[in-house]
Chain A
């Protein structure tokens, strides 16, 4: 006997906000053109640079993992535009609550990628300054950060930092999460909270079509952005491989939040071009044809095509960005290898604000034990 699980969905075709076609053609959009009207050639070039640097950092990290320098890496390959577009929509006072894959967002927020490498190397569990960057710690437990983001947004609300009309003061929060995460209770609770309290938070879902081996159909029967309606706030699907569209849509959502109009769900429709992480083998569960299909929609190639079409950059510019990316990679490679291992007794340092007597004793116990080897060697 087979349980019938197919449901006949009758809702209209999902709409996708797109400003750049995969061929790099600018498509007019009545609603969103205004949101990117101020974007200059310099801005496009600078976003292109972020995209390329993001991909290069990611590629270097994958290589470092292969060489045994990192324990693991979760690649962002294919999701650069979703990350750069949304990150570039933020103002300095906005906040980010990421998953474990938002490396390009980190880059845009000024987090040194070496910190990301340190985490995946197993040197620490998040060494960057979240206060300076407003880029909070990576969260590996799926969905948990969406509630943190919502709570943070509630704090912003209480501090009167929304709806003042002061562009340097009004702030909002972006919660990143994946398609799989939308199944978690925490994420649904975050939607409810944000809706009920009208929190200044943007739920930015990178629908990369896969949660490890599980395709989107295992998580949802409706396009994800439509879920927002049930919770009582707007939802929009954007071409996640179109950096300009991601910028526009996130700008709009952030401004709504900063103006005190509450949350928005943005579904960035994209694709995880690499493995889930470096330990994953996607050939076990998905067809190569799918990847080939998405390669035609590459998020970097289309910006490049757009820039070439519009004479926004010449070969010298592209070469310079490549060179800069290569230099960054070379630097990271060496810096990653040089990261010192933590001293064993450092594990006791930050369990509590003040060490407890029990931990002090265990620290001494560990020290004495480790010293006994040093003595043995000395003898």
Chain B
């Protein structure tokens, strides 16, 4: 077992993928000598060379567009987008090209591209550095969208994403980058990429989260336990496809569901989860599904982000509402 934070875990996962498959490339702004602004690619250029770890020109459309060409040539590019808000110059390439190539070619052409995006807030940053754009991508057929919440998942999920022949948008919770955890680097992943994880079993209410809010919900569950209430916390991990088997199972037992994410509420992942749970578990529900999310505003200035972001109290408040109904 090795104690790693999420940054080091993704780094170790990338390293292993690059060792296992010479076709794996890392490309992005400042990923080489600097090791990325968060140091996720630290040391990779030194060990794998400039041909495999590419400091690209400053152009996101170029990063994704050339990754498409490299993928057509048999490479497996892992693209780093420096911050969530900067994926949009590459959005056209992702949505119109990466997502559709397999479909358009009748399955002949594959796009084994991973697009890593540090996402989410709570880091006191200026504009465009704290966004949660996952729903834009989950809304796009042809893309797989996943996110890790802890070092163990970070280590395995990045490798599984790279191995996949479909394109994957890989969201990393930058506000939790320094969260540490134990990782067995030589072990085996305990879950396939496209499955949710029950992060904490419980009996009274179900709380669904992903990425940065998983920790928030685990903290809320600890606080609820002190008050004698048992929350089951489910970490979605995969946002497209959504794996809600564990959620259905849980809601059928608890009858109460709260979905938590940093992204804006309207048409967010929570809306889809609520719709599906309503379809599948209608007779089990004791209360309407509650959403604890960012508000429907642009991400606000850092000095008010604390109030904007879901926190422990807002989660518990929502749980209370499911009981008060």
Residue of A nearest to B36 (CB): A213
Considering the complex, give the chain A residue whose CB is closest to the CB of B301: A122
Q: Are A1 and B298 in contact, with the CB atoms below 8 A?
A: no
Contacts of A181 in B (CB 8 A): 58
Q: Of all chain B residues, which has the CB nearest A211?
A: B58
Task: List B258-313 residues whose CB lies under 8 Å from chain A.
Answer: 265-266, 295-298, 300-305, 307-308, 313
- Which A residues fall within an 8 A CB radius of B? 1-3, 71-72, 100, 119-125, 140-142, 180-181, 183-186, 211-214, 218-219, 279-280, 284-285, 341-344, 346-348, 351, 358-359, 362, 366, 369-370, 372-373
Q: Is the pair B296, A369 in contact by a Cβ cutoff of 8 Å?
A: no
A212 engages B125 (CB within 8 Å): no
Number of A-B contacts (CB under 8 A): 120
- Min CB gap A108→B, angstroms: 23
In the complex, what residues of B have CB within 8 A of residue A280's CB? 37
- The residues of B with any CB-CB pair to A shorter than 8 Å are 29-30, 32-35, 37, 49, 51, 55-59, 61-62, 85-86, 88-89, 124-129, 265-266, 295-298, 300-305, 307-308, 313-314, 317
* Distance between Cα atoms of A284 and B39 in the complex (Å): 11
Q: Which residues of B contact A211 (CB under 8 A)?
A: 29, 58
Query: What's the Cα separation between A360 and B26 when bound, in Å?
Result: 45
Q: Are B296 and A362 in contact (CB under 8 A)?
A: yes
Q: A348-B295, A359-B296 are in contact. Are A218 and B126 (CB under 8 A)?
A: no
Kindly name the residue among B32, B59, B296 whose own CB sees the greatest number of chain A CB atoms within 10 A. B59
Which B residues lie within 8 Å of A141 (CB)?
85-86, 88-89, 128
A341 pairs with B303, CB closer than 8 A: yes
Q: Can you show 26 pairs from A to B with CB atoms below 8 A apart?
A: A72-B124, A72-B126, A100-B126, A121-B303, A122-B124, A122-B303, A125-B126, A140-B127, A141-B89, A180-B58, A184-B58, A212-B30, A213-B33, A213-B34, A279-B37, A342-B300, A344-B308, A346-B304, A347-B297, A347-B300, A358-B266, A358-B296, A359-B295, A362-B265, A370-B307, A373-B313
Contact B34 A212 (CB under 8 A): yes
A214 adjacent to B307 (CB under 8 Å): no
Given the known inter-chain contacts A123-B301, A342-B304, A362-B295, please indicate yes or no for A214 contacting B125, CB distance below 8 A. Answer: no
| CB-contact partner of A125 in B55, B88, B127, B295, under 8 A | B127
Pair B126/A284 contact, Cβ less than 8 Å: no
Pairwise interchain contact A218-B57, C-beta atoms closer than 8 A: yes
Establish whether residues B55 and A214, one from each chain, have CB atoms under 8 Å apart when the complex forms.
yes
Chain A residues with CB under 8 Å of B297's CB are 347-348, 351, 359
In the complex, chain B residues whose CB is within 8 Å of the CB of A1? 51
In the complex, chain A residues whose CB is within 8 Å of the CB of B303: 121-123, 341-342
Tell me which residues across on chain A come within 8 A of B88, comparing CB atoms. 141
8 shortest A-B CB distances, which residue pairs?
A122-B302, A213-B34, A183-B57, A344-B307, A180-B58, A347-B300, A71-B124, A122-B303
Q: How far is the CB of A6 from chain B (nearest CB, A)?
A: 12
